Chain A
Amino acid sequence: MTLRHSSLGLGLMLVSGLATATPIPRYEDLLHAQHVPALPQLLSAPLWASTKVLAIDTQLDVAPETGALTGQVDLKIEAVASVTQVSLLIDGGLKPGQATATGKTVNVSTQAYQGYTLVKLDVVPGLGVGETVSVNVAYSGTLECKTEGCYAGKPLAFLSENGAIPGVYDQDSLGGYNAWGASRSLTLSVPEGTDVVASGDRVAQSTAGGKATSKWVIPGYHSYGGNVVMMGQLASKSVAGVSVPTQVFTTAAAPSYASEMVGWMQQIVPFLDAQAGQKLPYPELKVFKLPLGWLNIFRGTAGHGLTLLSEDYASGDVAYFQETLAHENAHQWWGVLVSPTDIQTTRWLVEGLATFSQIDYAAEVQNPKVPRDEYLARRYREHWLLVKYRGDPTLPLVVASPAQIPTDSVQNTLWAYIRSSALLEYLRVVIGEQSFATLLRAWAQDCAQKLCDTADFLALLEQTSGEKFDAVFGQWVSAGAAVEPQIGFSQVGGKLRVSATGIGGATLPLELWITLADGTLKKQRVRFQGSLPVEIAEPAAVRRVKPNPRQEGMIWSRSATPADVDFDAEVDGFDVIHCARLLGKTADPSQAGGEGIWSTDLDFDPRCDADEDGVIGDSDLAVVTGAFGTLGGGAQ
């Protein structure tokens, strides 16, 4: 795959490590946190440019209950251009000590920076092009954990990058940070009797002098995986019969759901294996259930070989906890192993794909008795409702600059998770299940631990489908719009003519469901170009032409006949009864008895909401009853 240079520095990417590859936030939590967690912003001037980080090796001695620690980091760098300075981010309670580099003098200075300590390392003399050096920095103190990078206490503590583990602050578009291929290792010493689970492959473990020491290694590849360490009194259960050795961890004091999660992982791992077309390339997969109440500390993430999820996700429907666990494990592929390089401007192939996998898992594994089309259509109706009534469909899925990413937490979630996954489901429908499955396997095969982005995904999509999608991506990936085609049809001389008006000049692939007068259902993929109708040979009388409703998360289709909600070009009792049933319903999330991601009333049909106010009222029903008796469409 082609190496593409990010147009912006990677400092933001670095410090947003825990903001990617995460479960979907709960709606009620977002209402209390109106903005996405504040992340350090780019400094006004680059500190350090044109550098490649080859390795970040960290050694820590930590007291998990207090957060007291001593540490040192070895940073191996290669200068691509002249380099005189490198910077690290560590927890605000830590202070750097001496810094050394063979053949160099390293001058250390610090600055408080948005809850972190920014450690500036001036290398004298500077590095020439192609020069490689290892910089060693000692640091110590007691963690303050003002950011999301750590938590000290009992019975569980955690560490991550930009906290106890230094993050490399790099604003260069070429190198630096693990995301661009640096290998990582962590050698961690804790009081003997403290259990440790960390991202990475455990390569050593020993006990001496009252200390338990373990070493964890992450190979050098580009990844957004959150590098996390959990410490405390832990319990574990093995997951038998899956392709990669898997263990479920909990705190010893709160082992609830461990058995359930073992059973779920026995289904999730094979599901992910099938989706990616290969097993996870880890010696071990660790799944960590964070205790109830940890939602506000750390709700979960995925890193190399480690998936974490808070039990708070079980507070509603346990089935939703299970599908969220599938989401988070899907990030092992979509976010950890396959990390698109355009993360600065999009989440659609990270959070969108994980949400897509989550819903697909719910359909295939948790609800196998519900017809697949019916289940997926119902789930993606929520995406329609959320984006239509609460979101902004004009926001591109790949924005032009990071500044365009919504900072409002609800809008951010709708953009990153909801509309993104709706587009993926739409693409699956219009190229077909088999082709899309091939596409995902190719995406995993070609892009795991490599540098790929949206353009590569488009290339694979076109390759597997044999169709052009550049126009579609131009409309709804790099641009945005509400897509509300009005579907009409007529039939003359054995030809069915179908139109999709109201889409301007857009290119609109669709799968149509054509119902004949005898009830036979035919599926037909078509491609509308602006207002041009498509013609389909169909000698039998046609009663109804509607788009496959699985597309509705993205394509908000309506009948061209006003008040016709079932697409038969007529307004009869079926339309009236459908909308009469929905009288009084609202499109709000967090409804008692609701379904889906944010507990939405998935019976709500925007086609019955004539005034588009999110409530189906008497005036909306009057629109349907007023048009009652409109005939002349399909076979009578």
Chain B
Amino acid sequence: MTRWTGLLLLALAVACSSDDGGGGSTPKPEPSLTFEADATPPGVALTLRQKELTQDRLVLELVGGSVQDLYGVAFRLSYDSTALTFTQLTAGTAWGGGAPVALGVAKTPGLLVGTVSAKGQAKGVSGKEAVLAVVTFALNERKPSALDFVVQRSALLNTSGKPIEGVGFAGGDLVLK
């Protein structure tokens, strides 16, 4: 329901928008919404990468950069709940054929609590750009907004269950261009 309402508002906004001083001129192209990832920190990092952005949804990849022996990721991601609605979190390709735990909940508006984890005696994930999870949002409104990790509540954990030290976190922004 929210998504359709958003789309209707968007259509109306497009239909009504005009900045010409008189009739007959060509309207400017509507700004397009794009996702700009924040700069990737050096070393081990947890970042967001756009996988898909359509009229009605944003799909992001949760990427582990330069990870070694990664067992699981726990994270919280803040976002503008007027612009986005969390819909789904699934495990990424980095986990291979295993059946990791992948959970995402946004009971608090604008705060995604997520996790992806191996189970039992599974080996850790290593890789330069490991896709750990895929996060899908519905677009409520085409407007600029930020997606930021809550750094103090986010961590990469190794197979010993200990946090990997020195992890950099980088979210991103939805921008109109």
Binding site for B on A (CB under 8 A): 517-519, 572-574, 576-578, 580-581, 583-584, 603, 621, 625, 628-629, 631, 636
Contacts and interface: CB of A to CB of B under 8 A. Distances in A.
Interface in B110-158: 111, 113-121, 150, 152-153, 155, 157
Question: Chain A at the B interface: mostly helix, strand, loop or mixed?
Answer: loop
B171 interface: no
A581 B157 CA distance: 11
A571 to B, nearest CB: 9
A608 to B, nearest CB: 11
Contacts of B103: 573, 576, 625, 628-629
A573 B74 contact: yes
A631 B101 contact: no
Interface residues of B, number: 28
Nearest to A583: B120
Among all A-B residue pairs, the 4 with the closest Cβ atoms: A573-B74, A573-B115, A629-B105, A577-B72
10 contacts: A573-B73, A573-B117, A576-B72, A580-B120, A581-B159, A583-B119, A583-B120, A631-B107, A636-B76, A636-B153
B117 A628 contact: no
Contact of B113 (A518, A603, A629): A629
Contacts of A628: 103, 105, 113, 115
Contacts of A577: 71-72, 74, 115, 117, 157, 161
B75 interface: yes
Given A583-B120, A621-B119, A576 B113 contact: no
B54 interface: no
B76 A576 contact: no
Contacts of A621: 101, 119
Contacts of A576: 72, 74, 101, 103, 115, 117
Interface of B is mostly: strand
A519 B152 contact: yes
B101 A580 contact: yes
Given A580-B101, A580-B119, A573 B75 contact: yes
B113 A573 contact: yes
Interface of B: 71-76, 101, 103, 105, 107-108, 111, 113-121, 150, 152-153, 155, 157, 159, 161
B118 to A, nearest CB: 7
Contacts of B114: 573
B74 A574 contact: yes
A462 to B, nearest CB: 40
Contacts of B75: 573
B158 to A, nearest CB: 10
Contacts of B111: 631, 636
Contacts of B152: 517-519
Given A573-B115, A583-B119, A578 B161 contact: yes
Contacts of B153: 572, 636
Contacts of B150: 636
A581 B121 CA distance: 7
Given A519-B152, A573-B117, A631-B108, 18 more contacts: A517-B152, A572-B74, A573-B115, A576-B72, A576-B103, A577-B72, A577-B74, A577-B117, A580-B101, A581-B120, A584-B121, A621-B101, A621-B119, A625-B101, A629-B105, A631-B113, A636-B111, A636-B150
B123 to A, nearest CB: 12
Contacts of A603: 161
